[in-house]
Amino acid sequence: MYNTLFSILPVLVVGIFEQDLKPETLLAYPELYRDMGPNNHLFTVPEFIRRVVVIGILHSIVAAYFPIAGGLLLGYDGTTNDQYINGLMIYCIMVLIVTFKIAYIDVRRWVVFSHISVLLSLALWFGWNGVLNHIYPDSPGEGYYVQGVFDMLMSKATFWFQWIIFTAVALCLNVLILIVYSIRDPVEHRITSWVAFERHKEHLANKCRRKQWLADHKPF
């Protein structure tokens, strides 16, 4: 369910719309394409370890260890968390981390479909758990209760606190690491600078088009 329902939409949006730089920029400055294309700068073992392994380990620690170490009780009437509650809490954090990471952090450009994919992914997540919350059969044994648990968690401020705060911690660590890599890596720094330059040009062009449209539609 995770790969086919809860995280597929942001991946599709990235695959369809993401680009490092515009074609006209790469044609004008072919050395930019050489670094990211033929030289295969991002597809090396050190880059994989830094950008995937290290960040993945940090996300796992925050999502799995922080809720348990925090000791915030989410069970009924303040009782100890059981197996399902702990698992669902970790699952919720990971879904939010991965959704925001794919849609907003691991891309160079945001499009309207980025926001739509995030909203739909979260809607599917809440919808699936809401349905499962009511149709799951009687629990097989002690420590694994599913029916009514999701509704109960939604009413607890401690659940929302952990979900939002721990996700924010993981994403902030992700962004901080990428900033450090971008500063230390001359190729990445150069690409990032060009992306910022293109965005500035697009902003100015949109501003001019907006002013022109207002001038053309100005009432007499």
Q: Are 84 and 158 in contact (CB under 8 A)?
A: no
Q: Are 162 and 46 in contact (CB under 8 A)?
A: no
Maximum mean pLDDT: which of 45-54, 66-75, 209-218: 45-54
What's the residue count for the chain?
A: 220
Maximum mean pLDDT: which of 66-75, 118-127, 186-195: 118-127
In the prediction, which pLDDT does 119 show? Answer: 93
18 token code pair = 């993401």
The DSSP symbol for 20 reads: S
The band of 38, judged by pLDDT with boundaries at 50, 70 and 90, is: low
In the prediction, which pLDDT does 183 show? Answer: 79
**For the chain, percent of residues with pLDDT exceeding 90:** 20
pLDDT exceeds 60 at position 78: no
Give burial (CB, 10 Å; 0-12/13-18/19+) of 4.
exposed
Whole-number Å distance between alpha carbons of 94 and 59: 8
pLDDT exceeds 60 at position 178: yes
Q: What is the pLDDT of residues 79-105, one digit of tens each?
A: 556 777 888 888 889 999 999 999 998
The band of 140, judged by pLDDT with boundaries at 50, 70 and 90, is: low
Q: Are 171 and 101 in contact (CB under 8 A)?
A: yes
pLDDT exceeds 70 at position 75: no
